[in-house]
Amino acid sequence: MDDLDIKKKLEENCKDDKNLAKFLKELFSYELEGTRHNYKKDYDKMIEKYSNSGD
Amino acid sequence: MRIEKIKIENFRLYKNVEVNFPKSENDIHILIGDNGVGKTTLLNAIIWCLYGDEPQTYSNDVLLPRLNTSAGSDSDVVVELHVKTNDSRIVYKRTQIFKNGTSRGDAILETFVTTDGQTERASDPEWEVTKFVPGPISDFYFFDGERLDNYFKSSNIEHEIFILSHIDLLEDMEDRLKTKYKDYNTSATKFSTEIEELERELEKKEKDLEEKNEEKENFERQIQIAKTRINKLDEDLRGVPNIKMLESTRNSLKTSKDKYEKMISKKNTELNELLIKNAPQIFLYSLIDDIIKDIERKIKNNELPTPIDEKELEKSLKMNLCRICGRKLNNESVEFIKKSLEEYNISSEESKILTREMLPDLKVFQNNVKNYIMLKNNIKKDFKDFKMDLERINEEYAENEEKYKKYDDENIKLKYEERKELEDSLEQDNQDFGENKRAIKSLMKKIKNKKEELDKAMEGNKKTKIFNRKKNLCTDALNVISETKKSIMEDTRLMVEKDTNTNFFNLTWKKHTFSKISVNKDYSLELIHKKTGKNAIHSASAAEKELLVLSFTLGIHKISGFDSPLLIDTPLARVSGKHRENFSEIFLKVSNNKQIILILTPDEYSDDVKEVFADETIQKSIIGINLDETESEIKKV
């Protein structure tokens, strides 16, 4: 199962929540990159971004 | 991907070895060596080069130093693995520096990538390794043949499947989102707890204020009632003196009257005592006054001899010397002094009595009389004042008595008593009312402050809403990840199961015994017997079991997406007889699509096996060791 398959799976499980799907795909890409300096800070940024654009 | 070359310098038994793996029709390579000549060391050299450690245990249980014992003590240990991909060549090179036989720092990995004739040193060599075979799944690619045998003893490979399916990444996401959720929850709870606490406090203060306002209304009502009643009583008692007051006044006046009468009586006594005490002097006053006047007249008219100092004169006579001028007295002077002394003795005795003794005493008497007059006048004045006060009190008393007798009525007394009680009560109510007003003022101030605090906290509450929104996003994401994990695990399991079945039934020499292989959720394997329909894994031969695990491993290779070589140390050791041949044929089949490197013992490399690998294009090499067992070499057969 490659990265695209997993992203697709994540998207499918988000059903119609496009914001959530984008958020999860971004998180997955971040983890895939494997260069994690300060995940708390990076996660904060991503959560901040997608929690504001979800409504 | 395939391994083209392994180059080893000073790694344990290998002082200087280079093994090439040229590609032929069947990409299978056989290395044969006795136990203890360096078979496991070869496997470990590859793993150390890629991952920096040596997980495989050595058969003789003696861990030799990594630096070859016959190499110089300042030599470096170097292992190079040359790998070919579809579009490039990669050289993984790990070096460990030794000085005086001691390692200097960690072993360093370098990676050189050649693409289109251009070689570049990779900035992240470990990352290049993950492109070949990631460390966590390397056990599926480079392993001891025992793994094939031991799979059923330790089949907990879920974690490795997680890594293969990237579920480990999803799990990292899960862990981090859970941590973030907790952080947000803590922050949100902090604000909401503060708000709840403030709201509770505000509610209590507002309730207290409500009670105080009720109290205030009661006080106002009571005060109003009391005032109204006092007004009514005042109306009833208008022009009517207060009997109680009159009674009180009467008592007070009576007390004053008694007091003044006693004071007057006391003054009378004082006057009498003064008169008795001074009576003799008063009666003789006129005579004393005359005597004083007479003496003073005599003194004034010099009718009394001049007072002389007879003692001085006597001293002068005794010393025969004048005490004034200091000259010696002559006879005439002596006679004069003697005569003067006689005259003085006769005339001055009377004068002395009058001036020195009588006159001062008489003057004391005279002064006493004068003092008496002054004291008498004072007493008389007090007496007169007291009399006047007493008269006034008597008048007031009489007047009060007249009123008292006129209004001595029980009803009036009761009304006055009621009025007095009402006034006392009103005074107390007014005091309480004042305290109540102060309390209300204080409470209102506290409520104002609390509301301000609450407003601030509500500002924080906006943050709470933000935190809650973030929490919700985390929760939604966690749910999706959980679902995705389950779904991927199931898909992966089904894919592994499908590939394992394909591989097994493609490779097996027993085509009609088993119907299918089930890969359970915990990745335990079941080999279903065609006739019984039940799991026959426990009755399967070692070769069948190893084939099953090999099929499963190849299935794992497929789903991992890493088409890397398979290197197995002693793959046939646990397989005997005809099955060795069968198994060798299987490896041959697999090598059509994948590079296979097998490290065999001479025992494993039996005649039947030799026959299977008889094709000249299949490279065979011998691993040998020198006589003093310090250096191994690998030679092509």
Q: Dump the DSSP string for B469-506.
A: HHHHHHHHHHHHHHHHHHHHHHHHHHHHHHHHHHHHHH
Taking an 8 Å cut-off on Cβ atoms, the answer to whether B170 and A20 are in contact is no
The Cα B510–Cα B586 span in angstroms is 12
pLDDT category at B467 given cuts 50, 70, 90 is confident
Task: Give me the pLDDT at residue A36, please.
Answer: 59
Instruction: Please answer whether residues B525 and B556 qualify as being in contact, where contact means their C-beta atoms are separated by less than 8 angstroms.
Output: no
Task: Give me the pLDDT at residue B189, please.
Answer: 78
Helix B578-590 to helix B410-507 angle (10° resolution) is 110
**Which ipTM was obtained for this model?**
0.96
The Cα B368–Cα B557 span in angstroms is 146
Instruction: Decide if pLDDT at B454 tops 50.
Output: yes
Interface probe with B: pick from A15, A35, A47, A50, most Cβ of B within 10 Å? A47
When CB atoms are compared, the residue of A2, A40, A47 closest to B470 is: A47
Taking an 8 Å cut-off on Cβ atoms, the answer to whether B491 and A34 are in contact is no
Q: Which residues of B touch A32 (CB under 8 A)?
A: 166, 169
Least confident window among A30-34, B115-119, B618-622: A30-34
The Cα A54–Cα A15 span in angstroms is 14
Report yes or no: A6 at the B interface, CB cutoff 8 Å.
yes
Interface probe with A: pick from B176, B492, B499, B558, most Cβ of A within 10 Å? B176
pLDDT in tens, B491-534: 888 999 999 999 899 888 888 899 999 988 878 889 999 999 99
The Cα B222–Cα B382 span in angstroms is 53
When CB atoms are compared, the residue of B169, B470, B492 closest to A31 is: B169
Q: Residues 89..128 of B with a Cβ closer than 8 Å to A: which? A: 127
CATH number of B1-133+565-637: 3.40.50.300
pLDDT in tens, A4-32: 888 999 999 998 899 999 999 999 999 88
Taking an 8 Å cut-off on Cβ atoms, the answer to whether B469 and A51 are in contact is yes
Instruction: Please answer whether residues B48 and B55 qualify as being in contact, where contact means their C-beta atoms are separated by less than 8 angstroms.
Output: no
- Domain borders along chain A are 3-52
Task: Give me the pLDDT at residue B5, please.
Answer: 96
pLDDT in tens, B551-578: 888 888 888 778 899 999 998 887 877 8
Closest residue of A to B161, CA-based? A1
Task: Give me the pLDDT at residue B566, please.
Answer: 92
Least confident window among B28-37, B241-250, B308-317, B338-347: B338-347
Residues 6 or more apart from B588 whose CB is under 8 A from it? B26, B28, B612, B613
Instruction: Decide if pLDDT at B623 tops 90.
Output: yes
Report yes or no: A9 at the B interface, CB cutoff 8 Å.
yes
Task: Give me the pLDDT at residue A46, please.
Answer: 94
Q: Which residues of A touch B559 (CB under 8 A)?
A: 1
Q: What percent of chain B has pLDDT over 70?
A: 95
- CB count, 10 Å around CB of B568? 23
Q: What's the Cα-to-Cα distance from A51 to each of A47, A55, B173, rounded to whole Å?
A: 6, 8, 17
Instruction: Decide if pLDDT at B284 tops 60.
Output: yes
Q: Counting beta carbons within 10 angstroms of the beta carbon of residue A6, is it exposed (0 to 12), middle (13 to 18) or buried (19 or more)?
A: buried
Q: What is the mean pLDDT of chain B?
A: 87
- Domain borders along chain B are 1-133+565-637, 193-242+407-460, 259-305+361-404
pLDDT category at A35 given cuts 50, 70, 90 is low
When CB atoms are compared, the residue of B173, B476, B559 closest to A31 is: B173
Q: Counting beta carbons within 10 angstroms of the beta carbon of residue B46, is it exposed (0 to 12), middle (13 to 18) or buried (19 or more)?
A: buried
Report yes or no: B492 at the A interface, CB cutoff 8 Å.
yes
pLDDT category at A55 given cuts 50, 70, 90 is very low
